[in-house]
Amino acid sequence: MIPRRAALSLPLLATRPAAALEVASESQQGGLLIGHGAQGQRMSLEGRTLRVSPAGEFVLGFGRDHGPEAILLANGQPRRIAVARRSWDVQSTTGLPPAQVTPDAATLERIVAERARLVAARAVDSATTLFTARLAWPARGRISGVFGSQRVLNGQPRQPHLGLDVAAGVGTPVNAAWGGRVSLAAEFHFFGKLVVLDHGHGVNTLYAHLSAVDVAEGQFIGQGTRVGAIGATGRVTGPHLHFSMGWFQTFLDPQPLLPA
């Protein structure tokens, strides 16, 4: 079931009032929350200062393995947020070339450099608030992988799958799920041809394994603009789009925000 946007009253741990949160998804592992408060309010979550827009909007997210609660500070006053636990699927993939499971030294050096570029792209904290729009499907096709699942490659457990996979034919259009600025357009070892978009306040989306990239770094695009096409570049077993959503370096689950 797709959660509706709803108001959430959070219990205060102190007596002074703070802003209410309007929730864009359930307060759960992998969830993105959008808040509205007073102008000029100071907000932070677990040591990270939150950008607050002139209209009082702010955003925060919880990773796949976040603990059962988090403390949000509003003007120095703490509020406890319960973070619901989720269960995750385990998926096994066999038949990958050994070099894709255990890279050689030269490939590993490339991977490390690419990881640094991705971290920099996802660290952008711009003032735009394009993430407040309804998230749109970036492509149409069969869902072949879900957020949070544990992948086992050639019998070796790997890190959890931190995106949503949409399988379709090579060349199927891939569009921007939100409007934003292109912070990265490149070709990586694991992700193949990819695009990262910045939507403001640390919120970003990533589109990977593309057969073509149709945007350039620094370009501003609207929601629904074509960013590329589904392909089978990088480490894949077939053509699909790997679509992920993040809050800075924390990957989040986009599926609860997407239309049915």
Per-residue pLDDT of the chain (260 residues; tens, 9 = 90+): 334 343 343 433 333 344 455 555 568 999 999 988 877 889 999 999 999 999 889 999 999 999 999 999 989 899 889 999 999 887 666 665 665 557 789 999 999 999 999 999 999 999 999 999 999 999 999 999 999 988 776 677 778 989 999 999 999 999 999 999 999 999 999 999 999 999 999 999 999 999 999 999 999 999 999 999 999 999 898 999 999 999 999 999 999 999 98
219: Cα within 13 Å, side-chain hemisphere: 16
* CA separation for the pair 186, 195 (Å, rounded): 7
In angstroms, the Cα distances linking 122 to 8, 56, 152, 186, 206 are 28, 23, 26, 14, 9
Q: Strand pairing partners for 151?
A: 91
| Cα-based distances in Å from 153 to 136, 159, 160, 188 | 31, 10, 11, 19
The CATH classification of domain 90-257, taken from the options 1.10.357.10, 2.60.120.10, 3.40.50.720, 2.70.70.10: 2.70.70.10
Q: What residue ranges do the domains of the chain occupy?
A: 6-82, 90-257
